[in-house]
Amino acid sequence: MSKEAYNVCVVGAGAVGSEMVRLLKKHNFPMKSLVILARSERDEVIDGETYQVKEGTPEAFEGMDFAFFAGTEGSKGASQVLGWEAVARGCIVVDNGDDFRMDPRVPLVIPEVNAEALKDHQGFIANPNCSTIIALMALAPLHRAAGISRFVACTYQAVSGSGSAAIAELEQQAHAWAEGRAMEVSAYPHRIAFNVIPQIGGAKDVPGVPSEELKMKRETHKILGDDSIRISTTCVRVPVLNGHSEALHVELRKPLSVSEARDLFEKAEGVVLNDDLDHAGYPMPIDCSGKEDVIVGRIRKDEVFDNGLALFVAGDNLWKGAALNAIQIAEKMIEMGLA
């Protein structure tokens, strides 16, 4: 049976952590208390309100009901060091980092797609990668209706996916270009202003394949529960402040017309259809930034594939691609009586 109110903590005070705090309040999440944890104590101001950030230690999770790990502050360490410590103290962890996504103990969840996976949770739930979430919000309705045999995804990912330092770097480079000054480069291996970088993550597991592209394949298989889907991805960082876009080319197991696909998207939870090429209506990052829904459009037959469809999607990577999805997981758990 769910409680009336919960003790909540957010681990990480970077770009995603701040959005988690913002969205918890926007959604009127039933909170008894809210604490922000990070590597060191300090004050953080979010929307004009000052929060006293506390040091993240195992003991800090005593009495907590939900812990949202932002995956940005100490991303390769916070949930590894503290995640299961929080679970051991009776806290439900929702982790935005990638350390445990493929762990068989850990459900990998998009509430609109596979909420049933939450039923078997062991206190630790993982948020999928931002590009995976945005793609599957569009692909899952197609898969349920006609089955996906394979798809090609080309992503156009905003710098906010790399954190607040990357946002500042793009802004600084744009100002430097306008003023005729040299651009400083630190967040990426090349300048990002007026450029695109066809690498997101390192290529450690599979030579020549950056980690972001592997994530999309592996996470899609786990979320949809179908390892037979063949997936090819190219993930590209683009000079956009916020909002990821993706071109998706899909082969279905059964025929599905463009009009039938539009009907599916019009009925899909968390999806907004914008598909009016004659009036320049299609998904763009400028329209999805600060919005909870994923926008789907440019729906057309793809003649390369049998039963092929092509579409374009855009979603706020900090919201639905990260902070919002994590909060929706907790909301769904409460709704299902799992917390």
Active site residues: 130, 244
- What is each CA distance from 118 to 6, 16, 123, 138, in whole angstroms? 18, 23, 10, 21
Strand order across the beta sheet in which 49-55 lies: 42-46, 49-55, 31-38, 6-11, 66-69, 92-95, 124-126
Buried (b) or exposed (e) across 162-193, using 16+ Cβ within 10 A? Answer: bbeebbebbeebbeeeeeeeebeeebbeebbb
The number of beta carbons lying within 10 Å of the beta carbon of residue 307 is 17
Within the chain, strands assigned E span 6-11, 31-38, 42-46, 49-55, 66-69, 92-95, 124-126, 148-157, 230-237, 244-252, 271-273, 294-301, 308-315
Whether the CB-CB separation of 215 and 131 falls below 8 Å is answered with yes
Distance, in Å, from the CA atom of 331 to the CA atom of 73, rounded to the nearest integer, reads 24
Distance, in Å, from the CA atom of 237 to the CA atom of 201, rounded to the nearest integer, reads 10
**Which is it for the CA torsion 106, 23, 263, 149, positive or negative?**
negative
